[in-house]
Amino acid sequence: MNLQSLKEKAKKANRTYEKYFIFIVMSFFILGIYIARHSQDFANTINDGMSQFVNGYTLFAPIVIFITLAAAMGKIFTTKEMGSFTAYLLRWFAFRRILACFWAILATTVFFRLPLFSNHSITLMEALSNTISSMAYMITKGSYFKAIFLAFLLGLLAIKSDRVSRLLEKMMWGIEYMGVFMLPLVPIFMLVVGAYVQSLPEQINNQLSSSVAGVGYRLNVVNSLGLSINPNSGDGMIFLYVYVSLLIGITCLIFHLGLVFWTRYKVKRFSIRSYFTEFFPKMYPLLWATSSETLALPLCLHLTKKLAPFVRKEVRRFVLSTGNNLDSNGTIINVFILLGLSAVVVGYPISVFELVACIPIVFLIGYAIPGIPGELILFANPLMELLNMPESIAPIFLVLYTGLQIGLPDSFRTAANLMDEYLNAVILNEKYEETIGDV
């Protein structure tokens, strides 16, 4: 058998793998649940691995924030050739990010019936004072904000130094390229997720017992949209996991549909019919299955060129590549919904006002996400610090927030992230032709 024949067989096997990818992934997720339910040793091994991962992420998270944010800042500060269009694009992405924050807060409030003010922030002035104090501490002493400041300075340095600019581009490319290796590992990863979710209640109870000096502790029942979910059993935790995943998916989809109809309103040559018959069915499954915007970007570029040929080449490439880093609204929605859910489960009262106070943190760190599965882990500690999370429940909140985001929530938020960019390219092309190009 010659090399060419082997390559053809490999391509055929890869096409078959991608064709049935979703079914393979879900099968491995169910298999993980089954094995963990019948093998305590397997469940313990998964729990130990996840615990080590959670304990160690505080060391590498600021580094990842620094690298990815510095690269994004470098791209922003050094992009001069598109002039006023670049400034408009950045304002457009920033506006959509703020809009996503408020939409996510509204959805989270409805889902979990959050109060306007919490028990520990009775008045507006007290809540505002606590928020300002927490943010002042983070800005002056927090490792995450130090990473943000350094990234900002390095981005400014890239204006004067081509070498720094190229270095930042290589750093960003390196992080994005990690997504290439994720596809073959996703089924194994989902096996781990299934096992982890199955044994999560026991792990949570163990951590809670130790954190409250051996006193027994049970997670709070979640009452949402007429449902009452008890997460203190394996089946209850799995149901909660699937339920919050669907909430995230629906919230992201509604936000995305708003952009679809806004695009049709602003750009008459955009076809909603071709979008739902030719773009959505091809892009969404790939994004959902891989949880990687980077892997799906070439297909998004191709479909945008095919379905919206009126979008100029320079606009298509610039908007999709830039938006891939700067327009991650599915992730923003995911952050708030999981924050609200995790707080309810551990019994820590957060309010609508406190969610609004989180917007600056979420807005800034949103520029530092690397576009890989599990990226919400970067938000956990900064949000805990901002919300004055007590030490007695902080470990369990961290386990919930970082554990429940893996798998299905990752799939839904990733699909929302890149799906928007086709629409953004169509809308922003109008602005480009108005300010720079001649039709």
pLDDT confidence bin for 77, thresholds 50/70/90:
low
More confident site: 145 or 209: 145
Average confidence (pLDDT) over 117-136? 57
The arithmetic mean of pLDDT across residues 130-157, rounded, is 67
DSSP codes joined into one string, 310-326: TS-HHHHHHHHHHHHHH
Given this model, what pLDDT does residue 72 score?
59
Q: Per-residue pLDDT for 178 more than 60?
A: no
3-state secondary structure of 228: strand
d(CA 401, CA 387): 14
> Chain centroid to CA 295: how far?
15
Is the predicted pLDDT of residue 252 greater than 90, yes or no? yes
How far is the C-alpha of 18 from the C-alpha of 292, rounded, in Å? 14
Side chain identity at residue 247, one-letter code: L
Q: Regarding predicted confidence, which is higher, 152 or 231? A: 231
**For residue range 11-38, what is the model confidence (pLDDT) as tens digits?**
677 667 666 766 787 788 888 888 888 8
Residue 418 has pLDDT above 50, yes or no: yes
Q: Among 100-109, 278-287, 340-349, whose mean pLDDT is lowest?
A: 278-287
Contact 195, 43 (CB under 8 A): yes
Which residue did the predictor score with more confidence, 136 or 387? 387
Q: Reply yes or no on whether the pLDDT at 107 is more than 90.
A: yes
Lowest mean pLDDT among 169-173, 209-213, 232-236: 209-213
Contacts of 120 (CB under 8 A, 6+ apart): 130, 349, 388
Query: In this structure, are residues 393 and 190 in contact, taking their beta carbons and an 8 Å threshold?
Result: no
Average pLDDT, the chain: 76
Compare 147 and 371 and report the one with higher pLDDT: 147
pLDDT score for 98? 93
Rounded-to-integer distance, Cα 209 and Cα 216, Å:
5
pLDDT band of residue 341 (cuts 50, 70, 90) is very high
Helix (H, G, I), strand (E, B) or coil at 236: helix
Mean pLDDT, rounded, for 363-382: 70
For the chain, what's the residue count? 439
Helices 83-112, 408-435: crossing angle, 10 deg rounding: 150
DSSP 8-state class, residue 377: G
pLDDT at 388 over 50: yes
CB-count burial class (<10 Å; 0-12, 13-18, 19+) for 140: exposed
Question: What pLDDT, on a 0 to 100 scale, did the predictor assign at position 214?
Answer: 42
Q: Which pLDDT belongs to residue 196?
A: 72
207-236 residues labelled b (16+ CB within 10 A) or e (exposed): bbeebeeeeebebeebebeeeebbbbebeb
Assign 108 a pLDDT band (cuts: 50, 70, 90).
very high
Listed range (25-29, 30-34, 77-81, 246-250) with the worst mean pLDDT: 77-81
Residue 183: what pLDDT?
A: 57
Q: What distance in Å separates the CA atoms of residue 157 and residue 287, rounded to the nearest whole number? A: 35
Examine the pLDDT at 175 and tell me if it is beyond 50. Answer: yes
Mean pLDDT of the region 301-330: 80
84-95: average pLDDT: 83
Answer for the pair 357, 131: CB distance below 8 angstroms, yes or no.
Answer: yes
The DSSP bridge partners found for residue 227 are 224
Closest CA to 304 of 316, 295, 288: 316
Q: Report which of residues 168 and 60 the model is more confident about.
A: 168
Distance separating the N- and C-terminal Cα atoms of the chain? 54
Answer yes or no: is pLDDT of 122 > 50: no
Side chain identity, residue 56: G
Percent of the chain with pLDDT over 70: 69
- Confidence (pLDDT) at 439: 41
20-435: CATH class? mainly alpha
Q: Please determine, for residue 181, whether its predicted confidence score (pLDDT) is greater than 90.
A: no
pTM of the model: 0.70
What burial class does residue 16 get, using C-beta atoms within 10 Å of its C-beta: 0-12 exposed, 13-18 middle, 19+ buried?
exposed
Please work out, in degrees rounded to the nearest 5, the angle formed at the alpha carbon of residue 262 by the alpha carbons of 260 and 265: 115
- Is pLDDT at 65 greater than 80 in this prediction? no
- Mean per-residue pLDDT for 105-134? 70
Rg (CA), the chain: 22
- Residue 54 reports pLDDT greater than 60: no
Six-digit token string for 325: 């880093």
378-402 average pLDDT score: 80
Choose from 124-133, 162-171, 233-242 the range with maximum mean pLDDT: 233-242
pLDDT score of 167 = 78
